[in-house]
Amino acid sequence: MEEEKGKSGETEHSRTGFNLGDIPLEGESSTSQFGRKVPDITGMDEKSAREYLLALLTTIKETKVKRRQLEKDEETWNRRVKLAEEKGEVGLKAQAELKVDQIHADIEQLVAEEEALLSELETVKRQLRIIKAQPEYTEDADLLLAQLEMAAGKVDETEEKFKQEEAEIALERLKKEMGLSDSE
């Protein structure tokens, strides 16, 4: 169980590949009532924000699973305390009571962490709604040009060149008819 305790602060998820600790704290980040920094995800695109939300939900689930396991362990060690007491094993009873106290402290820590994560979840959900409501901006020049051409109509360069040539020929004819040719 010592090994699991060491992993309780772990926030990287192999399923999502997202690490909650890697989220940049953009703008003002708030602090939850449990002292945990809640990042401002409103600067993220919707996909990244959803990945963050998934990672947060996964962390909450993992925390609940660890807490439930520790609660089962606490029950087991409480039974062992009673067994040691019934058998008159004072030293064994003291060791079991220490283990119960340690497990209980771990449970309290996980409960506090779980409450902080749930608070953060509510904040992230609100921020995700803000992100969804914002229009998506693009900086792709080719895409912007294509959108402009669709809206305004594409200029046909070949047709423009032919019109210019035809106008020059018509101008030359007119000059000849008026006697103003370049050859004179």
Q: What is the pLDDT of residue 74?
A: 97
> What are the structural domain ranges in the chain?
2-133, 141-178
Q: Which residues pair with 123 in a beta bridge?
A: none
CA distance 89 to 74: 19
pLDDT tens by residue, 32-46: 555 556 677 878 888
What value does the mean pLDDT take over residues 19-44? 57
Q: What is the three-class DSSP state of 40?
A: coil
Q: What is the three-class DSSP state of 38?
A: strand
Q: What is the pLDDT of residue 10?
A: 42
What value does the mean pLDDT take over residues 82-107? 96
Nearest partner of 8 among 120, 117, 119, judged by Cα: 117
- Percent of the chain clearing pLDDT 70 (strictly above): 73
